[in-house]
Amino acid sequence: MKLEKAAAVIVIITGLLDLVLRLSTGAWLILSWVVAVYDFIISVPFLPPILTLILGFAAGLHLGVRVGAADSSTSSGSVGMPNRIYGCLEINDVLWKARADLSNLSVSRLYVESEPYCPECNTVLDGDTVYKSAARQTNIWECANCGFRTERESDTKNKAERIVERHFRQITTNQDEDYAYGNLMEKIEEDDREVTGESIWNEYVSTVDDEYLSTDCFV
């Protein structure tokens, strides 16, 4: 048993020595290669300044790219700048709610809700009501909450989409006008109000004259 234990210990020690020798040999080879390259560089007079310029240029380029990326991310998502505008129209006595998703201050997606809202209590209207008389049959928008009723005209939603799209794009593209996005934000901040998707629209409505524009959706 003693001989077997001694043999095992010898095998382990031999393996460890071999591993250390291999590692030290590899490290020595790498160190020798580095020293040889360094000796070559300093032996050629024009190489050190050229390498210094190359390394400096690479470092500056890398730093510039990182700074540019940071500036770009800041400008495309500035603090306090909403990435969505909410709109409101009143067409044929009912309210239509809309929103515009923004990307780099351009409208990327436009959405108008499928059903209008009651102008009296801001409840979604029911369009399935039909009023029948001796003369004709009339489709009705009806509010289940307050009893408001008005005639339901065809193609009103498409009309709302066309109108609100025109206004949303006007806000985001005409940068020199009073109703431009940046100018609306400045007016809101000057009044110590919070800049939101709703406040942008409210300020726009107070600046532009259009019979269909409303702010009653945000009450």
Q: Give the other-Cβ count within 10 Å of 210's Cβ.
A: 13
Q: Distance between CA atoms of 139 and 130, rounded to whole angstroms?
A: 5
**pLDDT attached to residue 97:** 97
Q: Residue 14: its pLDDT value, please?
A: 54
| pLDDT at 154 (0 to 100) | 81
pLDDT digits (tens, 9 = 90+) for 27-85: 555 556 555 655 655 666 665 666 566 656 655 555 544 444 334 333 334 446 788 99
Report residues of the chain scoring pLDDT below 70: 1-80, 129-136
For tokens 């690479």, what's the residue? 58
| Contacts with 188 (C-beta within 8 Å, 6 or more apart), sequence order | 194, 195, 199, 200, 203
Asked if 85 contacts 167 with a C-beta cutoff of 8 angstroms, the reply is: no
Question: How does DSSP assign 88-111, residue by residue?
Answer: EEEETTEEEEEEEEEETTEEEEEE
User: pTM (2 decimals)?
Assistant: 0.61
- Would strands 126-132 and 106-112 be described as parallel, antiparallel, or unpaired? unpaired
pLDDT for the residue numbered 219: 75
Tokens read off for 46? 């024009």
Note the pLDDT of residue 26.
55
Number of H helices, E strands in the chain: 5, 6
Say what the pLDDT of residue 174 is. Answer: 81
Q: If we measure between CA atoms, which residue out of 156, 203, 134 comes closest to residue 213?
A: 203
Ordered by start, the domain boundaries in the chain are 2-76, 84-119+155-218
